[in-house]
Amino acid sequence: MNIHMNLRSGQCHQKLVASSVFLPDELIAEVFSFLPVKSLIRLKCVSRSCNSLISEPTFIKLHLNQSSQKTDIILGSFYIDRYAGVSFTVLRMLENPSNIIPNFLKVPCHQQNHRERYVVGSCNGLLCLFGYSFGKECKAWFRIWNPATGTISEKLGYMEPCLGSPFNFAFGYDDSKNTFKVVNFLRGTTNVRVFSFGDNVWRNIQDSPLPHHKYITKAVHLTSSVNWLAIQNYFKSHYSCKDIAIEQFMIISLDLGTETHNKLLPPKGFNEVPFVEPNLSVLKDCLCFSHDYKHSHFVIWQMKEFGVEESWTQFLKISYHNLRIDYRSNDQSDFHLLPLCLLEKNHTLLLVNNDESLTILYNWIDNRAQKFNEPTWYDATLHYVESLVSYC
């Protein structure tokens, strides 16, 4: 392709003159893959060649891979009123912590009594929204929304809302079938249903090995699977460390391709039941297990090879003093820390503290912590990266 590019002005056009510089399509695609989505959308309007290149599935995947490497945007999602959440860039927090400008992601408006209610999850730059309507016909549904491109799907996966019943959902991507799926857990039972956006059908699948309870951690998506922490043979509606043995903790992993469950053990170094329940997260494509240790430290383990229990490695053991947290002054029964994002180049970990509803940046080389006053929702915070991906 003979092409002249001016990326600052967003101009890209073929120039059929002898002096034109020849750039292979592969090189152009590589350069374009570093651009933000808004710039790419403008470039698509400039010429057919640019539109064709940027619309190619191979380029969309390349751009997603580049965006995912940054891992610098976190979305605090919550019950939707006018907005789906507040996004902010972790790198900007590091560069200019005194001037954090939140970006409110506004969901496309629909009828008031037929609107989306909350964000189920985020995957490959897409947000899965759950909504339901009141009135003569009570129905629930999902929409898939790409905030970067502004596209949103029709209502999909209609189901009975069973308002007041404790439903739980997870959103993920099935690599083997190249489709997105929603997993529906009915708490208090072992029932599991899966909705595939490829065929627009709900299906019952293999039961979970353990019942789904109110206090279990929210499922996290990793490598075509959704994973959550459960406690065997424990039926109370709340977490009580005095009534739990260390052997009861179990990680359940649902393979979205085979739609079968596997059990995974926590790290062997996790040998004392913590006062507050542990949690799962994903940091740099590794499943992570984190927990309190003796009211003095916060410990994070990484599963270096997904699905291999022997690959659990202790990543960090951080004192609450270094995190500038007075553990004794908190309501320990409701105190949680959750790792959100890891910036290895900067030796920095981003966490959220539910007690103060604050985000914390921790540098593990300097043992320094910095708190930010931006409000954060502990139990509804997820990763989000810009992409050109569509749900179908």
- All domains in the chain, ordered by first residue: 3-65 (no CATH), 71-383 (2.120.10.80)
Facing residues of 89 across strands?
73
Cα-based torsion angle of the residue sequence 154, 158, 163, 168 in order, rounded to the nearest 10 degrees = -90
Cα end-to-end span (Å), the chain: 29
Confidence of residue 360 (pLDDT cuts 50, 70, 90): confident
pTM, to two decimals:
0.84
Least confident of 100-104, 130-134, 173-177, 383-387: 100-104
Confidence of residue 10 (pLDDT cuts 50, 70, 90): very low
Count of CB atoms within 10 A of residue 115's CB?
Answer: 17
H/E stretch holding 245: none
**Across 139-156, average pLDDT:** 89
Q: Which amino acid is at 85?
A: G
The predicted structure's pLDDT at residue 307: 95
Confidence of residue 130 (pLDDT cuts 50, 70, 90): confident
- Please report, for residues 73, 99, 117, 375, the alpha-carbon distance to residue 102 in angstroms, rounded to integers and kept in the order given: 11, 10, 21, 10
Q: What is the pLDDT of residues 291-323, one digit of tens each?
A: 999 989 999 999 999 999 999 999 999 999 999
Helix axes 25-32, 48-55, angle to 10 degrees: 70
Could you give the CA distance from residue 107 to residue 84 in angstroms, rounded to a whole number? Answer: 6
The predicted structure's pLDDT at residue 358: 73
The predicted structure's pLDDT at residue 342: 85
Q: What is the pLDDT of residues 57-91, one digit of tens each?
A: 999 999 999 988 765 566 555 555 555 555 666 66
Least confident of 37-46, 128-137, 221-230, 357-366: 128-137
Could you give the CA distance from residue 31 to residue 21 in angstroms, rounded to a whole number? Answer: 15
Burial class (CB in 10 A: 0-12, 13-18, 19+), 183: buried
Are 318 and 366 in contact by the 8 Å Cβ rule? The answer is no
Could you give the CA distance from residue 252 to residue 166 in angstroms, rounded to a whole number? Answer: 19
Closest CA to 127 of 88, 87, 167: 87
Return mean pLDDT, the chain.
81
The predicted structure's pLDDT at residue 81: 54
**Residue of higher predicted confidence among 82 and 146:** 146
Q: Please report the sign of the dihedral spanned by the C-alpha atoms of residue 78, residue 179, residue 340, residue 237.
A: positive
Are 250 and 230 in contact by the 8 Å Cβ rule? The answer is yes
What does the chain come to in residues? 392
Q: Which amino acid is at 242?
A: K
What is residue 296's three-state secondary structure?
coil
**Across 232-252, average pLDDT:** 89
The predicted structure's pLDDT at residue 362: 92
The predicted structure's pLDDT at residue 164: 45
Q: Which residues 6+ apart lie within 8 Å of 312 measured at CB?
A: 266, 267, 268, 269, 289, 301, 302, 303, 304
**Across 211-220, average pLDDT:** 72
The predicted structure's pLDDT at residue 8: 43
The predicted structure's pLDDT at residue 82: 52
Residue with tokens 């079968």: 260
Q: Hey, what long-range contacts does 280-284 have (CB within 8 A, 24 or more apart)?
A: 280/217, 280/220, 280/227, 280/228, 280/229, 280/251, 281/220, 281/338, 281/339, 281/340, 282/220, 282/221, 282/222, 282/383, 283/315, 283/339, 283/341, 283/342, 283/349, 284/71, 284/342, 284/344
What is residue 48's three-state secondary structure?
helix
Least confident of 68-77, 217-226, 348-357: 68-77
Q: Is the pLDDT of residue 17 over 50?
A: no
Confidence of residue 332 (pLDDT cuts 50, 70, 90): low
Q: Is the pLDDT of residue 184 over 50?
A: yes
Least confident of 29-43, 277-291, 323-337: 323-337
Least confident of 17-31, 79-93, 135-149, 241-255: 79-93
Confidence of residue 264 (pLDDT cuts 50, 70, 90): very high
Please give the share of the chain, as a percent, with pLDDT higher than 90: 43
The predicted structure's pLDDT at residue 92: 62
Facing residues of 317 across strands?
299
